[in-house]
Amino acid sequence: MDTKKANTGREVKASLILAGRLTYSLQWFLISPALPAIASQGHVPTNLLGLIPVAFFGAAGIAQIPSVYISQRLNPSRTYVLGLLLLAAGNVLLPLNVTTFWLFATRAISGVGAALFFASAAGVLSGLYPSKPGPIMGVYNAAFAMGGALGLVWGVLDQALGWELATEIGGSIGVAMAIINYAAIRHEPHQLGRRLTGITSVLRDRTIISAGLAYTGVWGAYFAVGQLLPSYEQLSLGASVSISGLQSSLLLFPSIVGSFMSVFYGRFRRKRLLLALVAVPSILPAAFIGLGRVDVIAGSLIAIGFFNDFSISMLYAYLVDFPDNDPTATLAVVNTFHMLIGMWVAPMLSLGSAISWSFGWGLVGIVPLLPLVLLLGAGRQEPRDSVS
């Protein structure tokens, strides 16, 4: 009976984390369809649109490592709840006063919340199912893809209600989900997270560091597409806010399928080679988006979405599969690299658009491939001696 009760409690906690992860992703993407209108009100030029995501990702990247120590003090469950609350609060506050400063400040608040949520929630979830790193990280990323797709479809509400009210509604959903998660964990013992001396050991681990840095382009290209594709379709192709959001959501739906490909993680012996092979088709198709043809854009989005989540889920499974490293510390360090380096792909796209959108998309499809060379070597290669 005790075992059954423990399993039920574990499943409930995992379900709440995944619901929080979906809501977390919604908060990331829900302003994307409205970005041209928001930037116009905030007096941000079109060729600098990519700096708005930078405010979010920059704050999130800077806060990643401190989030590990906050998690240590509050414990990981309370930390991810606090993160979801801050992330959503930034979106609730954004429409209240759309000046340039307020726009960047509220994106930064949301970014700090994203940092507090990501590694803490992933660490708690992987700790619930330590023998299944591949499937669990796949489900974690699938929840992100579902929320992101919903966020891009939010353009329908932007057009129907105005982006201000639609954003308030989306942010309020995030606040509500944070409250629900807190209600579920409030009776947990207020124990400290285990002492994370792991940050130092992760930073000294060439295998972890090289794998994390190799994927900065994978991460950056995906979010440049997700954040700025609606703007491209509105400003260059003449699409409406709702249509641009719906078309852009094609990026996220294949991501859901790609996430679950991580169930095959244990079947591959040469995992770093696998990481390199699946990363290439997650980036290269972006170069063809600039052709401006609906069929080419749709095909590119399907390929990018599927292979990005396939590759990222494999990467996360690989990272948490080293038993001597703390998963929260490992994911926080790697996500710091992804955000602080990968975030510059979006400004590269918007600055390139000053020459032409085709040129900007060409850069997005080529430049992020370069860091993948880091997967060719460095230290211990695989977390296990044999296929698990």
Q: What is the CA 132 to chain-centroid distance, rounded?
A: 21
CA distance 259 to 135: 9
Enumerate residue ranges in the chain where pLDDT < 70: 1-8, 133, 188-198, 323-325, 377-388
Return the number of other C-beta atoms located less than 10 Å from residue 353's C-beta.
24
**pLDDT of the residue at 239:** 92
Phi-psi region of 238 (alpha: psi -120 to 50; beta: other; left: phi over 0): left
Q: How far apart are the first and last CA of the chain?
A: 31
The domain ranges of the chain are 8-376
Q: Tell me the backbone φ, ψ of residue 145, rounded to 5 degrees.
A: -65, -40
- Please write the tens of the pLDDT for every residue from 37-63: 888 887 788 778 888 889 999 999 999
**pLDDT of the residue at 386:** 38
**pLDDT of the residue at 3:** 63
**pLDDT of the residue at 335:** 86
Q: Which CATH architecture has domain 8-376?
A: Up-down Bundle (1.20)
Secondary structure of 275-291 as H, E, C letters = HHHHHHHHCHHHHHHHH
